[in-house]
Chains A and B, each alone.
Chain A
Amino acid sequence: MKIKFILNENEVSIDVDPMKRLLDILREDFGLTGTKEGCGEGECGACTVLLDGKPVTSCLVNAVHIDGKEVMTSEGIAQEPLGKLLIDCFDETNAVQCGFCFPGFLVTSYHYLITDGEKNPDKIKKALSGNICRCTGYQKIFESVMLACERKPLISTDQVN
């Protein structure tokens, strides 16, 4: 099946098995290995990407689902001002240990930052509840997203200027 979609702001097309998982398309066909396979069952969140602006576990999304849609991966987000801000905040608070879950956390945190962004621990915990980290405990991850929420207004101003 021939599908077209927007991948990190570039229009792409590919002839692919309609059931091929988005996770595998990203990693094998486009070399975007930031998206990780953890459980492969939608429970760990390591493979999270944005599909039409909403976070999904790409291990449960098939090629047919993304035809005509927009996909944003951790690589794309890392190029965005708010993505860069989040990476700096993860760095500053030492939120990352082994790093395997981090691209997923980046995507979900970025989605929270652009759709809500309130510095509210309960909301942040809920937003990140589909992502699992087995190294750090979650406190430092929450702290880094809190920090990013605090600094978000500065970034937005820079953009306008």
Chain B
Amino acid sequence: MKFIRPNDMEGLFQNMEENNDRRYFLAGGTDINVQIKNGVIKNAEIIYIKHLKELNGIQIVKDDIVIGAVTNITEILNSKIIKENLPFFQRSLESFASPLLQTSATIGGNIANGSPTADVVPLLLVLDAKLEIVSKTQTRIIELNNFFTGYKTNIMKTNELIRSIIIPRKAENGFDTYFEKVGSRKSLMISKVTLAGLKNISHSKFTTVKLAVGSLNEYPRRLYKIEEYLTDKSLIEINFLKVEELLNEEITPITDLRSDKEYRYHVCVNLIRTFLNE
């Protein structure tokens, strides 16, 4: 195992110039240490990044909230900026892993690790979050929704990393919010189905609907077809058979040791109903 602790961003980029498929970044360590223990990661190059100040902290930048990638979940839960601007996001993160893991686990790590069950991703998707991806020579901003390409894969090259997560400051303003993570217990729960939703209603019609699911595909995603179908309809105009049909097109639940695919599908349907009826 090769270990690198760069002193600053310049040192970090110098160490990232060469392509290396076995390069891993160490921030909070809550995922990588489990993978090392289980032998999934071995003979790797590990670059420590938790101490780099450019990757830490929560700031307001114009109309956005910018959260450094290695900011941990406890910091977000305690942040006054997040409390004032994104209270739904903050509240929902209380169900992240457990209080002990929240202290170490980082928001960028939860995204980059790419788990289909990642707790923060469905929330960030309905908040229209973007990622700032940096390399030595360029910075690009991409929508989180375009970040994942498959199971645990994403669009980043090996010379890039996530510097920050950008959330519009008014992402929650004027919306009814919904977040439900379904699993077998409250703490340390790996989700079976997660649904995050935002809606607003005018003259009893849904004017905007944003829905995102986790644990139902290779990676968490927005349910655009259902959003489109629901928009400009009132509750009585909605044909739930149609919603179920569209859901079938948008999700590909699997049967694994936590649950089976039929259960996941039906729970998701019920969560969408609850979200719309609340």
- Give the B-binding residues of A (Cβ under 8 A): 1, 17-19, 21, 40-43, 45, 48, 51, 54-57, 59-62, 64-65, 108, 126-127, 129-131
Contacts and interface: CB of A to CB of B under 8 A. Distances in A.
Interface string B16-49: 0000000000101110011011000000001010
A18 B74 CA distance: 24
Interface residues of B, number: 25
Given A55-B100, A64-B48, 7 more contacts: A19-B3, A54-B74, A54-B103, A57-B100, A57-B104, A61-B104, A131-B100
A45 B102 CA distance: 13
Given A43-B188, A129-B187, A56 B100 contact: yes
Given A129-B186, A130-B187, A57 B46 contact: no
B29 A129 contact: no
B43 to A, nearest CB: 13
Contact of B34 (A19, A60, A131): A60
B108 to A, nearest CB: 16
A130 B187 CA distance: 7
B98 A130 contact: yes
Interface of B: 1, 3, 5, 26, 28-30, 33-34, 36-37, 46, 48, 50, 74, 97-101, 103-104, 186-188
A15 to B, nearest CB: 14
A64 B154 CA distance: 27
Contacts of A45: 98, 100
B33 A62 contact: yes
Contacts of A1: 3, 5
Closest 6 CB pairs of A and B: A130-B98, A129-B187, A130-B100, A60-B33, A54-B103, A41-B34
Contacts of B5: 1, 18, 64
B99 A42 contact: no
Nearest to A23: B33
Contact of A18 (B3, B30, B36): B3
A22 B97 CA distance: 20
Given A54-B74, A64-B5, A130 B29 contact: no
Given A41-B37, A129-B187, A65 B29 contact: yes
Contacts of B36: 19
A126 B33 CA distance: 25
Contacts of A48: 100
- Residue from A62, A108, A126 whose CB has the most chain B CB atoms within 10 Å: A62
Nearest to A62: B29
